[in-house]
Chain A
Amino acid sequence: MKALGFLPIVAILLLVVEMLVTNELAGFGKKVAETDRAIDALREENQLLQEKVASLSSLVTIEEKARVLGFTLTPKVVIAGKEDVAFQR
């Protein structure tokens, strides 16, 4: 019977805890918003890096870099015929 007397106290305590937790969660919205902003910032950075990769791997860029490095366009292709080889079986 004595034990039953504690029940209301426990109930009140649990109620208070629930109210505190709910209140805490209700205020988490700000943290969620901040996390979302951080995710957006990382996505933005990924996007910018993707753009940079696309730009650097474009044929226009590669051709220009190749030209600066001294490469030339496809040279004249000379095909050696059978009669041109040094050794023939």
Chain B
Amino acid sequence: MARIWIIFPLILVLYGLLVVRLFYWQVVRSSDLRLEAASQYYLTFTLPAQRGSILASDGKPLVLNQSAYLVYGEPRKITDVPSFAGQVSPLLGFETKDIQATLTQPERVWVPLAHKVEASRVNELKSLNLAGLGFEKEPKRMYPEGSMSAHLVGFVGSDENGNDQGYFGLEGFYNRELGGKDGMLQLERDVRGQPILVGETRRIEPEDGRSLVLWVDRSVQRSVQKRLLEGVTKYGAKSGSVVVMDPHTGGILASASVPSYDPGRFGEFAREAYKSSIVADSYEPGSTFKVLIMAMGVEKNAVTPTTIIDETGPVPVGDYFIRTWDNRYRGQISTTDVLVHSSNVGMVFVQKKLGKEGMLDALHRFGFGEPTGIDLQEETSPELRDDDEWKEIDLATASFGQGIAVTPIQMVRAVAAIANGGKLVTPQVVKAIRDSAGKTIGVTSRKSTQVLSARAARVTTEMMIAAVDRGEAKWAKPKGYPIAGKTGTAQIPVAGHYDEEKTIASFVGFAPADDPKFVMLVTLREPTASPWGSETAAPLFFTIAKDLFSYYGIAPQ
């Protein structure tokens, strides 16, 4: 009996330990073990989503996917590493010793050798029939038009997890739409690893990325890119940009910046090259800004095209004197002549007629100080002073486009309001979005705001036509075409003062003036051939305009 009472508790304790252990494995660790078991009898594949394409207005691709592969090695299956490395490295473009070092890393059963290798190269690798060499689909982006519109489209790099991620431009802004959503396929497998048809299957279909159809016209873009490059070279400029927009819809027909980069080889270029200067860089617009202040002066009935101004000499503003650009003073001139001769003195007169309230209203109405909302990732906007921080001299200099910073897209959008009867539109690169089945989803057109009356827009247009026909750039103007525009030559601020020699030369305009097909801004930074907009940016504008007249079949009047 005593022996039973000794053994019985022992049995109870052992039994208790068994129950605890079973509880541990069946309850506490159950989910881990279930997953481990599932990995043994389930095959799981990621069904990758195809990234969407970016198409020009004619449906031809600016960016599409190209067949490419991740090339990997399985060191345990490679019997002769030096021979393997020697055969593979020339085809991958790497040093043999680097491939060898990768393959001889300790404890590695799988190593990536090269990413996004093109299909033709992969076929050569496959023909080597090497054990331990594997391939996995890893498509890459292809740019049939080369680096044309690089700043518009952006590029695709990797995020911190190694997944494709769009950066800058449209690839960045529309990364989620373009990327789609990967799917998943899970199958039961047999002992040989083959799927069991009657077994359990779970499938989540991938959602391929959507494609973007742009407003961009390939031919216009190519012409603009080519002419800009020629212009930057001819005028010895440090950089330049051109943006062409449909003034009625806000659709961007072309956009080019120099220097540019190749989105297919973005890693070989400096990071500074990635941003489009049209949406990301600010500059002082100079005399091109005069048309906007003049338009507001006409809108508020502060001036008319024939209001007479006394231009007898420099005009005092506080402790400063405002002079004309050429130090010539023409006596009694009309406000139209103020634009024709680009008179800073005349613009101070207009500004004083508008008053502080009118000037600030002009800046706010035309959208300065805020991003335009264009669908490009890197858009920024220089800030405006708070309304109560504007001094008399600030208002005076702003009237002729100095002491105020804008981006090219802000400038061209504002001038488009003069071209289209007074509406401030939202610039847009994407016209429509298509799903993977080809169905057009469309893009909600954003609201435009009436910032000028049709009358003020019409009157200002006539003044701008006079500025082109009788101004400093009249020598370069194509005959027979009504073009409304304005030259600009702005000094560049450096360390609190303006540089004596360096300028930003620009020209903004639209044509044909009576029924504008396009509004365009050309900027050249630090042209060395001549600092003046009338001698550099204006002729470049007119050269591009002639191409556009020919392309659109617009005959002279």
Binding site for B on A (CB under 8 A): 22, 25-26, 28-30, 32-33, 44, 47-48, 50-51, 54-55, 57-60, 74, 77, 79
State whether A29 and B194 are in contact (beta carbons under 8 Å apart), knowing that A57-B144, A79-B556 are contacts in the complex: yes
Q: In the complex, are the beta carbons of B198 and A25 less than 8 A apart?
A: yes
B192-211 Cβ-contact flags toward A at 8 Å (1 or 0): 00111111000000000000
Q: Of the candidates B61, B119, B198, B555, which one forms a contact with A26 in the assembled complex, judged by CB atoms under 8 Å apart?
A: B198
Cβ distance A29 to chain B, nearest Cβ, rounded Å: 4
Q: Which residues of B contact A50 (CB under 8 A)?
A: 64
Interface size on B, residues (CB 8 A): 29
The 8 A-B pairs with the shortest beta carbon distances in the complex, nearest first, are A29-B195, A58-B144, A54-B144, A29-B194, A28-B197, A47-B67, A30-B194, A25-B198
Cβ distance A88 to chain B, nearest Cβ, rounded Å: 18
State whether A25 and B67 are in contact (beta carbons under 8 Å apart), knowing that A44-B119, A54-B144, A79-B555 are contacts in the complex: no
Residue of B nearest to A61 (CB): B144
Q: Of the candidates B64, B65, B197, B547, which one forms a contact with A25 in the assembled complex, judged by CB atoms under 8 Å apart?
A: B197
Q: Which residues of A contact B67 (CB under 8 A)?
A: 44, 47-48, 51
Q: Which residues of A contact B199 (CB under 8 A)?
A: 26
- Say whether B370 faces chain A, with CB atoms less than 8 Å apart: no
- Say whether B127 faces chain A, with CB atoms less than 8 Å apart: no
B218-256 Cβ-contact flags toward A at 8 Å (1 or 0): 110010000000000000000000000000000000000
CB contacts between A and B, total, < 8 Å: 61
Cβ distance A38 to chain B, nearest Cβ, rounded Å: 15
Complex CA distance for A54 and B56, rounded to whole angstroms: 12
Q: In the complex, are the beta carbons of B66 and A58 less than 8 A apart?
A: no
Q: In the complex, are the beta carbons of B145 and A60 less than 8 A apart?
A: yes
Q: In the complex, are the beta carbons of A32 and B197 less than 8 A apart?
A: yes
Cβ distance A82 to chain B, nearest Cβ, rounded Å: 12
Q: Which residues of B contact A51 (CB under 8 A)?
A: 64, 66-67, 142
B171-191 Cβ-contact flags toward A at 8 Å (1 or 0): 000000000000000010110
- Say whether B477 faces chain A, with CB atoms less than 8 Å apart: no
